[in-house]
């Protein structure tokens, strides 16, 4: 009881605060998203994501080496597919010499021990900008899952350590797991986007990959942001179907979901601080309205406090620089 207990004693100076700090941020916490494009010598800044770039394979190679030297040991790959290669059947997604397949090999050439995770979804390959095969305005579920499984196997053949299905079709984790087992990829893991909400915070990412839906929205497969119990149902199903890691996405507006998933399940929990969250901090900092580094660190620590084991973040490099 006050005054015998004075909580401020433990906040008197940085040494005592550090000693009693409940969470810490280290380079081991991060998954670094990387955007890849065709070409040579290409490093283009994404207009709505200041200081974030699309790399051609030669510069991806250099970037991966730089990340490794900083202690960042896991990447999550996304590709920007030329329009002429997009269709409604994911043809290019299965091309064994496709951009994703070459990007995987490039990362492994640069740093054999870098953990490579790949985005598994059709939207960057889709002429409709949707995560699945479209028929008369409907996103087909089971047909899409079969295609995603083939895509996952193709990524595994190219050397991916983990596949990360971000599509939200029902039952796709089971279909992907079985396909990987059948092809002998028993050690290739699955990080499932389990609780992925239909969110306006993905806007800048869709600019980065030119992957915005051509009609409608993604609300028939991504989750309604009004829902909480649904996130637990989705996560439970993915774990039952064989997900090794589950993910909540977006991040900051969904910390309650991160905490619930962490409390409920015993597999590692990832959170994705998505493009719009990054862009908000960058924009406010550019205007001088928020302190960039402090808000970046505070939002990242919030994920740790909420229970995230893994953080996918466009700030990963900035954070590690600041830590060292
Ligand atoms: C696509 C995918 C998206 C993101 C990751 N994978 C966009 C979407 O679902 O429309 C968003 C990532 C971000 O905003 O940073 N399947």
Q: Kindly report, residue by residue over 287-297, the tens digit of the pLDDT.
A: 999 999 999 99
Q: Structurally, how many domains does the chain consist of?
A: 1
218 lies in some domain: yes
Helices (H), 159-291: 172-182, 203-209, 229-241, 255-264, 275-286
If you measure from the C-alpha of residue 177 to the centroid of ligand 1, how many angstroms do you get, rounded to a whole number?
22
CATH code for position 38: 3.20.20.70
259 lies in some domain: yes
If you measure from the C-alpha of residue 103 to the centroid of ligand 1, how many angstroms do you get, rounded to a whole number?
18
1 lies in some domain: no
Percent of the chain topping pLDDT 90: 99
Q: What is the mean pLDDT of the chain?
A: 97
> Residue 201 in 3-state DSSP?
helix
79 lies in some domain: yes
End-to-end C-alpha distance for the chain, whole angstroms? 40
Q: Kindly report, residue by residue over 34-71, the tens digit of the pLDDT.
A: 999 999 999 999 999 999 999 999 999 999 999 999 99
Full domain range(s) for residue 192: 23-323
Q: What is the pLDDT of residue 228?
A: 98
If you measure from the C-alpha of residue 129 to the centroid of ligand 1, how many angstroms do you get, rounded to a whole number?
11
- Which residue CA neighbors atom 16 of ligand 1 most closely? 166
221 lies in some domain: yes
216 lies in some domain: yes
Q: Is 131 a pocket residue for ligand 1 (Cβ < 6 Å)?
A: yes
34 lies in some domain: yes
2 lies in some domain: no
Q: Kindly report, residue by residue over 95-146, the tens digit of the pLDDT.
A: 999 999 999 999 999 999 999 999 999 999 999 999 999 999 999 999 999 9
Tokens representing 146 are 């079969």
């Amino acid at each position: 009881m006050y005054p015998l207990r004075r909580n401020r004693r433990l906040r008197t100076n940085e040494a005592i605060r550090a000693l009693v700090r409940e969470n810490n941020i280290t380079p081991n916490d991060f998954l670094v998203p990387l955007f890849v494009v065709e070409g040579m010598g290409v490093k283009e800044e994404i207009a709505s994501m200041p200081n974030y770039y699309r790399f051609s394979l030669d510069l991806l190679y250099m970037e991966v080496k730089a990340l490794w030297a900083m202690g960042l040991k896991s990447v999550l790959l996304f590709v920007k597919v030329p329009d002429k290669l997009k269709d409604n059947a994911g043809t290019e997604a299965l091309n064994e010499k496709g951009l994703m397949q070459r990007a995987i090999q490039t990362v492994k050439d640069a740093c054999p021990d870098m953990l490579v995770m790949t985005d598994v979804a059709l939207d960057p390959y889709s002429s409709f900008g949707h995560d699945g095969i479209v028929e008369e305005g409907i996103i087909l579920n089971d047909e899409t899952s079969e295609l995603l499984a083939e895509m996952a196997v193709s990524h595994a053949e190219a050397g991916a350590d983990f596949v990360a299905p971000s599509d939200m079709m029902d039952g796709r984790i089971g279909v992907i797991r079985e396909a990987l087992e059948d092809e002998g990829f028993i050690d290739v893991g699955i990080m499932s986007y389990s609780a992925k909400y239909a969110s306006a915070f993905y806007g800048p990412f869709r600019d980065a990959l030119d992957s915005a839906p051509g009609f409608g929205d993604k609300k028939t497969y991504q989750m309604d942001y009004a829902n909480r119990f649904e996130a637990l149902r989705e996560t439970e199903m993915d774990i039952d179907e064989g997900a090794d890691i589950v993910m909540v996405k977006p991040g900051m507006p969904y910390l309650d979901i991160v905490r619930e998933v962490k409390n409920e399940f015993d597999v590692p929990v990832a959170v994705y601080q998505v493009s719009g969250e990054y862009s908000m901090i960058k924009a406010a900092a550019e205007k001088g309205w928020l302190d960039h580094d402090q808000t970046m660190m505070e939002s990242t620590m919030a994920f740790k406090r909420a229970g995230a084991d893994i953080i996918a973040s466009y700030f990963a490099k900035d954070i590690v620089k600041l830590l060292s």
